[in-house]
Every structure is written in C-alpha cells, then in structure tokens.
Amino acid sequence: MRISRRSLLQLLAAAGLRADPSPHTLDQLRETCATGRRQARGYRADAVITVLGVSLFSRAGVGAGFVTLQEMASPERRTTLLQFGAGSIPARARGLNRLGFLEEAMVETPESFQAAYFGFMTSSPEESFADARKAVDAPDAAGDPQYAVAEGSLSRTRMWSSVARLSAPASYGWGDCAPLIRKVRGAFRAARTDRRELPLPEPNTFLRSLLAAIRGPRREVVCSYVYNAAQYRLQTRKTADPGAGRKLAARGLAQDAERVSALRGEVRKEGTSRSTHFQLWVEDKPEGASLPLRIELQARSYLKLSFEQDPTIPPIELEHS
C-alpha cells in the first residue's frame, strides 16, 4: 500500500508527532520577537589579576557590557530575544582590545520549538599570565583582531551550525560595538561557511538555559545546551545572599537586600575536563527575577572579570539589517 506524503504527515499529527519544520534564521526569529516587555542594562567591567591566589593588579572600568531581554508570553506562544555583549576599553586595559557578543531568539509553542543564535569572540591566545604580559607589552604585534564566529538554528530534534574565523580592523573597539557587530555579521554571511546538520538530544541554548536557572524554583539545575556544533553542560546553584544584597542596595543597585540571590555556575564542554566558573546576583521580584545586578567571571586562571550594573553606561542599541 502506498501512502502519500500528505497522508503521512496527517498520520504523524494524529499520533501527536510533527516533522521538524525547516530551520529559521536569526533574522526571521528576531522579527517575531520584536514585541513584548523589554529590559536592558549596562555594566562597568573591572579586572583583577592574580597569581597563585595573590592579587597583583586590579583596575575598575577596564571595559563595559550590556544585557537585553525582550519577551512576550501567552498560552499559545512564548517569544524571547536575549543579547549579551562585553568588551575592553583599550585606553583603560593597557591597549588590549577584546570583545564578545551573543544573541539568541526563540519561539516556543506547545507543539514546536524554534531557536537561532549568532555570536563571536576575539580569539585570545593568552593562556597564562606570562602570555598576557607579552600581549600587553606588544598589543599591536598580532595585527588586526581575529574573531571566532558561530551561527546556528535549532528545532526540537535537529540543529544546523556554521562557524568561521574572521578579522576586523584593530581600530574597532568597544565604542564601535554596534558597527562591529554589523561588520562581523556581514562578513560571516559573505564567507559562505559550510553548514552542518546534526541530531539534537536536547533543544536548548546558553542564554535561555541561564535565564531558566535564574527564574526557576529549583535550587540546583543541571542541563545541556548547544553552541558551535558542540554540546555543553551547565550546572548552577542558587542561594539567598542578603549580605551581597545590602552592599548592592548601598550602591543603589538593589531595592530589597533580602530578595537578592547569588547564582553560582559552571560550564563544561562535553568530553573535556576544562570548565569555566561564574557567579551572578539577581533581585527576585514579584514579577520575576530581574536581569543580573552583578556578574563575576573567571575568564582565565589568572584573570577575574566583574560586571556591575552602572546606570551611567547605556546598553548598546543594535540596528539589524
């Protein structure tokens, strides 16, 4: 007996199943997520250099960052747009020019899941304090910065991923964040990178995972997400931290110190032993946890970065073509 494709799809739907739709691009999903409640914050970046646990150097305002969240929810559909960007200010960071950006868009319904992401980061070869000293002593020796770029889209069971390594003029710094993002995005599109299709055991992305851990009722969360065609494991633990809340309230960043919680996390690429540790502080409110008030990241064994909300630093406004 022969069954037409239309009949087969009808049978699958009747059985509670649905074939994955074709992947959506980030541009398509961003348009869908362009409405709803929007939150945005700017951050001041501080750095501390340590060797064998001893602080050797610290400096405030070595860079800046921003987080934006736009979302709309109904019983039929939830849309979410998340952006995170951070970078150094060379004049404050002894000439070092580093920048990273990640954007995710998601549309979820009871029957389907569609997500897409685009991100890039300056390729930083410094693995030790000695390497960092060399980079500081000769910041222009490497020429134009190189960026590792990744783009992907996800459905419930499949993912599509493209990666590339691109360069941009060294004259682009944090003050040029928005045009740099457009430039890297345009160069990535023109590069015609190979696109890989892979099976997906769990449809998830990094910023979405982190937002769920911040807002969720569970004290401890372990989940997986995908980025750059690889699987990662995120483990978080959330605890009340009124002590930090009082410090943040004294600086005018928190309204109720007793509602401030700390979220400590670890990210590990599956199949490797290398991990990245971070922690952030949020204020739980009746309408849900807000964006982080402070973020601390162990960027390297010798380098800790902190990003603290700063009302004088405006979030980057991005215009997409």
Residue-wise pLDDT tens digits, 44-73: 999 998 776 767 778 899 999 999 999 998
Averaged pLDDT, 248-260 = 95
Q: How far is CA 69 from CA 19, 39, 74, 106, 142, in A?
A: 30, 5, 17, 12, 35
Nearest to 87 by CA among 43, 117, 49: 43
d(CA 283, CA 241) in angstroms, rounded, equals 10
Compare 190 and 23 and report the one with higher pLDDT.
Answer: 190
Q: With 80 as the cut, is the pLDDT of residue 300 above it?
A: yes
State the virtual CA torsion across 142, 182, 293, 295 in degrees, nearest 10: -30
Cα–Cα distances in Å, from 261 out to 197, 234, 266, 288?
A: 39, 18, 17, 12
CA dist 204 and 202 (Å) reads 6
| Residue 298 domain-assigned (yes or no) | yes
- Across the chain, what does the average pLDDT equal? 84
pLDDT of residue 14: 38
Q: What is the domain extent for residue 271?
A: 21-309
Question: Within a domain: residue 319?
Answer: no
Q: Where are the beta strands (DSSP E) in 74-219?
A: 78-88, 99-108, 113-122, 146-154, 158-167, 195-199
**Per-residue pLDDT, 248:** 97
Angle subtended at Cα 195 by Cα 193 and Cα 201, rounded to the nearest 5 degrees:
145
Residue 9 binned pLDDT confidence (cut-offs 50, 70, 90): very low
Nearest-5° angle of CA 116, CA 172, CA 45?
A: 75
Q: Do the domain assignments include residue 84?
A: yes
**Residue in 86, 48, 45 with CA at minimum distance from that of residue 304:** 48
Do the beta carbons of residue 170 and residue 147 sit within 8 Å? no
Q: How many domains does the chain have?
A: 1
CA–CA gap between residue 153 and residue 22 (Å, rounded): 10
Task: State both tokens at 1.
Answer: 């007996």
Please report whether residue 12 resides in a domain. no
Amino acid identity at 307: F
Choice between 254 and 49, residue whose per-residue pLDDT is larger: 254
286 with 265: CB under 8 angstroms? Answer: no
Query: For residue 273, which phi and psi values (nearest 5 degrees)?
Result: -105, -5
Pair 40, 86: CB distance under 8 Å: no
Asked if residue 92 has pLDDT above 60, the reply is yes
Q: Is residue 15 part of a domain?
A: no
Distances (CA, A) of 30 to 4, 104, 313: 35, 8, 25
pLDDT of residue 288: 66
How far is Cα 138 from Cα 142, in angstroms, rounded to an integer? 8
On whether residue 315 sits in a domain, the answer given is no
Please report where in the chains the tokens 């360069």 appear, as a residue: 167
C-alpha to C-alpha distance for 50 and 27, rounded to whole angstroms: 41
Tokens of 174: 């944090």
Q: Which residues contact 74 (CB under 8 A, 6 or more apart)?
A: none
Please check whether residue 10 lies inside any domain of the structure.
no
Within-domain flag for 320: no
